Amino acid sequence: MTKADENPAMPGRRAQYEAALRRRSMWVAGVSTSLVFLAILVLVPLAPGWEAVKKSFFNWGVFSKTFPGLLDAFLLDIAIFAWCAPLIALLGLFVAICRDIQKPALYPLRLFATVYTDVFRGLPVILVIYLVGFGIPGLGLPRPWNSPYIWGSLALILVYAAYVAEVIRSGIGSIHKSQSSAALSLGLSNADTMRYVILPQALRNVLPANMNLVVALQKDVALLSFVGPVEIFRQAGVYKSLYANFTPYVGAALIFLAITIPMTRFADHLMNKRRKQEQ
As a whole number of Å, the end-to-end CA separation of the chain is 17
Q: Give the integer Cα–Cα distance in Å for 66 and 58.
A: 12
Q: Please identify which residue in 179, 212, 260, 264 interacts with other proteins, judged by CB under 8 A.
A: 179
The minimum distance between CB 231 and other proteins, in angstroms, equals 39
Q: How far is CA 50 from the centre of its chain?
A: 34
| Residue 182 sits in the site that holds other proteins (CB under 8 A) | yes
User: Among 190-198, 226-234, 238-246, 259-267, which window interacts with other proteins (CB under 8 A)?
Assistant: 190-198
* Distance set, CA 209 to CA 80, 122, 142, 215, 246 (Å): 21, 19, 39, 10, 34
Residue 192, interface with other proteins (CB under 8 A)? yes
Nearest to 137 by CA among 34, 249, 227, 36: 227
Residue selected from 73, 113, 172, 183 as contacting other proteins according to rule CB under 8 A: 183
Binding of residue 178 to other proteins (CB under 8 A): yes
Assign 21 to helix, strand or coil.
helix
Q: Which is nearer to other proteins, 41 or 191 (CB)?
A: 191
C-alpha to C-alpha distance for 95 and 111, rounded to whole angstroms: 10
Rule CB under 8 A: say whether 35 interacts with other proteins.
Answer: no
Question: Is residue 1 at the binding interface for other proteins, with CB under 8 A as the rule?
Answer: yes
Binding site for other proteins (CB under 8 A): 1-2, 178-179, 181-189, 192, 196-197, 200-201, 204
